[in-house]
């Protein structure tokens, strides 16, 4: 009997290692069909899940309360599973090189609790070769087992888009790979249980690893192009949004927009690809150029804020700047690698201590990671400049009257609105006489 059949018959269990924005949706989806152990080293997070609280907002509290996932921070419980999915984060170091510590530690944990006949599938984003050349030796060392003989491996890159309620795990085609035909067949059948859109089988683990870093690198480069255009149009006095809307009337327009590019995927994955390419003697030209542009957008926006403060006769060091949003993207509490921090850091260099508002962000994470105390928007008053940095739905729904109530009692020309995501109607803003800038 295959491992797939044993899982379906509930004779064996599946384990998901890493219960964040990637692992939790996978665990919950599989729990509707199979017996699932959800493991995370963060005992605080496990207690939240057990209490029916979803800190990621990906599933929602009600979904967590209803799921049958067996949550645990006890790694020995992994011995009960025969199919392991590792979905831990893969960040970068300060020098922009890959930080494989989380995936290495997860491999050690699984290895210590691995039994014969198991399959281990990695979902963490890595450069081609990591699964076979780095993770497998760890699994073998910790388990005392031989890959290909006692256990098999595969790779299936995560494609979840945090905060996106339309493109969900179930309706995004899943790339799957295995170390041989047998493992590929078994891995594909297991994922087909929950992936309604179907799976796409590739011929090797390296191909699957490459597909993930390349698809995010492609998106990064396209956004970098739009960011470069936005910087040029700013000098030309041309509205970037209006240009893009005109361009998008053509059927084959790609519909990318300028903006801050952070998070744990698009702002990170290109560095993984470049790192491995440089090890092989190729120095990236396009990818690194795109990264340089995108990494510089926070300072560019901060400089635009300073210019507007000066042009409206504000004393820069005394200016009250309020930033709306600090997560890496809209409608998610995830603040990892948020480029809004670059705006804050640059403003601090000018002597400004901005007030930061974000009703969606994880308050504890903001304090722990960035030492930022988030402020309730109801406490904001007498602002000189409002910076709409993240397009949360709650901000998009704000009326001009609500926005105006946050400002000091200046004439409208002295009220500065910096609209990073072009949320507002520029014509309406201009008619009211505000000082307005958008990316």
Tens of pLDDT, residue by residue over 206-224, are 999 999 999 999 999 999 9
Domains observed in the chain: 3-202 (3.40.50.720), 204-295 (1.10.1040.10), 297-439 (3.40.50.720)
The size of the chain, in residues, is 439
Please state the rounded mean pLDDT for residues 151-179: 86
Across the chain, mean pLDDT equals 93
Of 11-15, 298-302, 411-415, the poorest mean pLDDT is in 411-415
C-alpha 218/C-alpha 169 separation (Å) is 21
Name the DSSP class of 163: T
At 55, the pLDDT band (50, 70, 90 cuts) reads confident
Cα angle 183, 186, 191 (rounded to 5 degrees) comes to 120
- Tell me whether strands 151-155 and 174-178 are parallel, antiparallel or unpaired: antiparallel
- Say how far apart CA 298 and CA 319 lie, in whole Å: 19
Q: Nearest-CA neighbor of 259 among 420, 438, 424?
A: 420
pLDDT at residue 410, rounded to an integer: 81
The residue among 162 and 81 whose pLDDT is bigger is 81
* Of the candidate ranges 48-57, 128-137, 262-271, 310-319, the one whose mean pLDDT is the lowest: 262-271
Model pLDDT, residue 169: 81
Burial class of 264 by CB neighbour count within 10 A (0 to 12, 13 to 18, 19+): buried
Question: Is residue 309 within 8 Å of residue 416, measured between CB atoms?
Answer: yes
In this prediction, residues 159-188 reach a mean pLDDT of 86
pLDDT at 142: 98
Q: What are the tens digits of pLDDT across the range 294-335?
A: 999 999 999 999 999 999 999 999 999 999 999 998 998 989
Whether the predicted model's global pTM rises above the 0.85 cut: yes
Positive or negative, the Cα torsion across 274, 278, 284, 288? positive
Tell me what pLDDT residue 409 has. Answer: 86
Distances (CA, A) of 197 to 102, 169, 174, 175, 219: 30, 9, 8, 11, 22
Q: Please give the Cα distance from 88 to 165 (Å, whole number).
A: 22
Which of 130-134, 260-264, 304-308, 387-391 is predicted least confidently?
Answer: 260-264
pLDDT in tens, 110-123: 999 999 999 999 99
**317 close to 351: Cβ distance less than 8 angstroms:** yes
pLDDT at 161 over 80: no
Look at residue 150 and give its three-state secondary structure.
coil
CA 185 remoteness from chain centre: 30
pLDDT at 164 over 70: no
166 pLDDT exceeds 90?
A: no
pLDDT (tens digit per residue) in 249-277: 999 999 999 999 987 788 888 999 899 89
CA 281/CA 241 separation, integer angstroms: 40
Within 8 A by CB and 6+ apart from 173, the residues are 159, 195, 197, 198, 199, 200
| pLDDT, greater one: 162 or 41 | 41
> Is the separation of the CB atoms in 93 and 99 below 8 Å?
yes
**135 carries an active-site annotation:** no
In 322-423, alpha helices (H): 340-349, 363-370, 393-396, 400-404
Strands (E), 43-169: 70-72, 81-86, 118-122, 151-155
The pLDDT assigned to 163 comes to 65
Q: What is the pLDDT of residues 332-360, one digit of tens each?
A: 898 988 999 999 999 999 999 999 999 99
Give how far Cα 380 sits from Cα of 322, 393, 422, Å: 8, 19, 22
Listed residue (53, 28, 64) closest to 168, CA to CA: 28
DSSP states of 299-319 as a string? HHHHHHHHHHHHHTT--GGG-
CB 220: neighbour CB atoms within 10 A?
24
Residue 98, SS3? strand
More confident residue, 266 or 248: 248
Distance CA 222, CA 412 (A): 36
Report the pLDDT value the prediction gives residue 162, as an integer from 0 to 100. 67
């Amino acid at each position: 009997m295959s491992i797939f059949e044993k899982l379906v018959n509930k004779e064996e269990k599946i384990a998901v290692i890493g219960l964040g924005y990637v692992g939790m949706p996978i665990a919950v989806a599989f729990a509707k069909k199979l017996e699932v152990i959800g493991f995370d080293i963060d005992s605080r997070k496990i207690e939240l899940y057990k209490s029916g609280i979803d800190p990621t907002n990906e599933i929602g509290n009600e979904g967590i309360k209803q799921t049958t996932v067996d949550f645990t921070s006890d790694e020995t419980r992994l011995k009960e599973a025969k199919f392991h999915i590792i979905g831990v984060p893969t960040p970068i170091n300060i020098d922009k090189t890959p930080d494989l510590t989380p995936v290495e530690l997860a491999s050690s944990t699984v290895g210590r609790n691995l039994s014969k006949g198991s399959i281990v599938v990695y979902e963490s984003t890595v450069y081609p070769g990591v699964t076979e050349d780095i993770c497998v030796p760890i699994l073998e060392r910790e388990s005392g087992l031989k890959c290909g003989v006692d256990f098999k491996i595969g790779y299936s890159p995560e494609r979840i888009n945090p905060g996106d309620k339309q493109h969900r795990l179930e309706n995004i085609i899943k790339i799957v790979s295995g170390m041989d035909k047998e493992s590929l067949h078994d891995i594909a059948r297991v994922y087909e249980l929950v992936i309604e859109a179907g799976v796409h089988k590739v011929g090797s683990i390296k191909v699957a690893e490459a597909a993930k870093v390349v698809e995010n690198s492609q998106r990064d480069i396209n956004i970098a192009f739009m960011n470069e255009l936005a910087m040029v149009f700013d000098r030309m006095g041309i509205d970037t949004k209006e240009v893009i809307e005109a361009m998008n009337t053509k059927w084959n327009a790609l519909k990318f927009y300028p903006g801050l590019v952070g998070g744990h995927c698009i702002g990170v994955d290109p560095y993984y690809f470049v790192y491995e390419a440089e090890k092989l003697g190729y120095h990236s030209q396009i990818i690194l150029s795109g990264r340089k542009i995108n990494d510089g957008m926070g300072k560019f926006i901060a400089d635009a804020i300073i210019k507007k403060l000066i042009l409206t006769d504000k004393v820069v060091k005394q200016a009250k700047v309020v930033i709306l949003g600090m997560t890496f993207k809209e409608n998610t509490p995830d603040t990892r690698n948020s480029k809004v921090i670059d705006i804050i850091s640059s403003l601090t260099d000018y002597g400004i201590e901005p007030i930061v508002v974000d009703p969606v962000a994880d308050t504890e994470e903001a304090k722990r990671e960035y030492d930022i105390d988030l402020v309730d928007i109801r406490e904001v008053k007498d602002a000189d400049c409002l910076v709409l940095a993240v397009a949360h739905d709650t901000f998009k729904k704000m009326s001009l009257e609500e926005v105006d109530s946050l400002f000091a009692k200046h004439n409208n020309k002295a009220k500065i609105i910096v609209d990073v995501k072009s949320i507002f109607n520029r014509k309406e803003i201009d008619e009211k006489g505000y000082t307005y800038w958008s990316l």
